[in-house]
Amino acid sequence: MLLVADVGNTNITFGVFFGEEFKGGFRITTKIPRTSDEFSVAIEMQLKQFGMEAKEIEDVIVASVVPNIMHSFNNGIMKLFGKMPLIIGPGVKTGIKIRSTNPQETGADRIVDCVAVHTLYGGPCLVIDFGTATTFDYVTKDGAFEAGVTVTGVQSSAKAMAGDAAKLPEIEIKMPNTILAKNTIQSMQAGLMYGYIGQVEYIIDRFKKETKLKNLKVVATGGLGRIISKETKKIDIYDPELTLKGLRIIYEKNKNREGTRYDNMGDMED
């Protein structure tokens, strides 16, 4: 079996695949400092909850946007599975061309999303990943990452609102029943969620206008994408495991290649 890991700023999301079959996933927080031993223990415990043993994992592939934890994380993988993970970085075959002005600035997670959406859903396509930041990435018909937009994530927006205003509390992120709010918490939830949906819809419309692709397919992923996608008709598909599937696809392109394992995270142009 293959273990895939998406190391984000808030969580590390893991998935286990048997061939193309997704067997299950789990998360651990990124923000708690961990030694390599602590990473090993945390991952092993989560696998056991699925009835899996570390010895069943044949290989590991990782995409990371958090370089400062990768030394401990990689060593934790090595201790648990006896091998270094394949890291999305220079030298890794993706099948995606990056047409941004500075490809080295493109996050590994965004490249993985582009690989997944083009392989699974075709192009042209707009992939939206609702994470700590929300990213909008335009993938052309021929499989090129053409352009991208980055905005503050839903949770980050909520924290900023509560943190910067003394009398505003922290709120649960959920859709209110109405925009006609009657109290402070409902008012904040209405402003956050309806405002965010409006932002998402405007950016989608702007992409369609500037690309001249009225039927541009829109695919969303990320935990909070489930909430947003239910509230707008402008998102065509919600795929919660899109990034994990992309990691599996990239692994299949590279599993027989030598010289593709690294101790740090990087970005690439295929």
C-beta contacts of 164-173 below 8 A and 24+ residues apart:
173/224, 173/227
Of 142, 116, 143, residue with least CA distance to 129: 116
Rounded to whole angstroms, the Cα distance separating 227 from 37 reads 36
Rounded to whole angstroms, the Cα distance separating 20 from 17 reads 6
37, 59, 109, 236: the active-site residue: 109
Strand partners of residue 129: 135, 221
Mark whether 263 is an active-site residue: no
How many Cβ atoms sit within 10 Å of the Cβ of residue 80? 22
Strand partners of residue 130: 134
Rounded to whole angstroms, the Cα distance separating 235 from 204 reads 9
Q: Which residues are catalytic?
A: 109
